[in-house]
């Protein structure tokens, strides 16, 4: 392996490419994540297609909602597939960010769709089972909380291994140093450090703390270990440790649960307006209502997310005390991913869950200055 350049400085060519690439990614996200779903949900419901599908499903009795949901999800998947394939395979290869073979991409796509069906169909079944209940939305909100906790718990032991081959980190010396660092920062009972083979899929790098309780894991992408210095890796882990120490997984679950109650109450009002709360033909209307609400509150939820990310950055600075390495890491990450380091403020406010790299680097420099002036 060639020597890793440190400290890393921006590659001017990649900065120019990043502007073009990030605009394309944003547009495909808006089209496939917002415009197409809203148009499809509205058309499917108001055109009468939903009622027709319900009529086909009703003779199946208790399996009617299962059949209806399966067909409905399949239709939206088919409509979204062309742009999803282009944006996550063709477009990524165009900018030399993807290492997927076509067979590998399809395999992961089918896995993700299977998981989507496995979780969404039972949720739809359960939702229509409780819709006749008075104040059903309260029970649904409570169920959402427990489902979120369950998914967060099983993520590193059941979900991640479906998509990644996870192997124990083999650099014993560095692993000991990392475990010592995170233990000193207050993280306890970590069940191991694992490496995910992201290099088979892309050039992008990442790391994460995943799991709750006894399922806590640290997971590195091998692209991070292969392309970053040990000091840079430590700052990434310091950031992830910050999320854990500051209980950001739990914060996210609780805030999402708080938000879900008024969202469900709005759905309740919409369904009552149809005159038939339990009509399974209302499923597209439920999806449409949720999607519109999510879009409306997106700037607020992303603002909060950026705030938590900044807190984790500060924790990494205070824990690792390596501002130069943290700066270098941010620049290297953004070049590897061809992300825009200085996005339009409005775009960042609405769509970005993380602060711009320009702001993150500025934080490192301000922290360094503050320590010098003490």
* Residue 166 φ/ψ, nearest 5 degrees: -100, 125
Contact 120, 236 (CB under 8 A): no
Check whether 188 has a pLDDT greater than 80. Answer: no
Pairwise CA distance, residues 343 & 345, whole Å: 6
Cis peptide, bond prior to residue 7, ω within 30 of zero = yes
Check whether 1 has a pLDDT greater than 60. Answer: no
Check whether 218 has a pLDDT greater than 60. Answer: yes
Q: What is the mean pLDDT of residues 310-323?
A: 96
Residue extents of the structural domains in the chain? 12-372
Contact 217, 192 (CB under 8 A): yes
Contact 207, 190 (CB under 8 A): no
Q: What is the mean pLDDT of residues 44-66?
A: 97
Burial per residue of 345-359, b for 16 or more beta-carbon CB atoms within 10 angstroms, e otherwise: eeebeebbebbbbeb
Query: Residue 364's closest CA among 333, 332, 318?
Result: 318
Confidence of residue 2 (pLDDT cuts 50, 70, 90): low
Mean residue pLDDT across the chain: 95
At 374 the pLDDT is: 66
């Amino acid at each position: 392996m060639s020597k890793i350049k440190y400290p890393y400085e921006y590659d001017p060519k990649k900065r120019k490419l990043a502007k073009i690439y990030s605009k394309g990614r944003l547009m495909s996200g808006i089209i496939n994540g917002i415009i197409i779903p809203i148009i499809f949900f509205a058309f499917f419901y108001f055109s009468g297609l939903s009622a027709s599908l319900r009529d086909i499903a009703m003779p199946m009795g208790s399996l009617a909602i299962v059949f209806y949901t399966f067909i409905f999800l399949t239709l939206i998947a088919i409509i979204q597939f062309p742009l999803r394939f282009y944006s996550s395979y063709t477009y990524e290869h165009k900018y030399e960010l993807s290492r997927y073979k076509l067979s590998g991409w399809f395999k992961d796509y089918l896995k993700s769709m299977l998981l989507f069906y496995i979780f969404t169909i039972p949720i739809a079944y359960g939702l229509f089972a409780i819709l006749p209940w008075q104040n059903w939305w309260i029970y649904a909100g409570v169920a959402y909380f427990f489902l979120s906790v369950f998914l967060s718990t099983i993520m590193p032991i059941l979900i991640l291994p479906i998509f990644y081959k996870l192997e124990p980190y083999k650099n014993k010396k560095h692993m000991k140093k990392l475990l010592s660092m995170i233990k000193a920062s207050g993280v306890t009972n970590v069940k191991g450090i694992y490496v995910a083979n992201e290099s088979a899929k892309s050039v992008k790098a990442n790391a994460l703390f995943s799991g709750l309780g006894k399922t806590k894991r640290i997971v590195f992408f091998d692209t991070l270990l292969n392309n970053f210095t040990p000091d840079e890796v430590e700052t990434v882990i310091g950031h992830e440790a910050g999320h854990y120490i500051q209980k950001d997984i739990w914060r996210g679950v609780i805030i999402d649960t708080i938000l879900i109650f008024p969202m469900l109450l709005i759905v309740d009002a919409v369904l009552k307006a149809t005159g038939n709360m339990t009509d399974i033909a209302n499923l597209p209307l439920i999806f449409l209502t949720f999607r519109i609400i999510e879009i409306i509150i997106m700037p607020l939820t992303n603002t909060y997310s950026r705030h938590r990310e900044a807190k984790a950055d500060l924790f990494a600075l205070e824990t690792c005390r390596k501002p130069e390495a943290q700066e270098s890491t941010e620049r290297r990450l953004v070049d590897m991913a061809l992300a825009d380091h200085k996005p339009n403020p409005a775009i960042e406010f609405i769509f970005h869950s993380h602060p711009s790299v320009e702001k993150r680097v500025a934080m490192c420099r301000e922290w360094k200055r503050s320590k010098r002036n003490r």
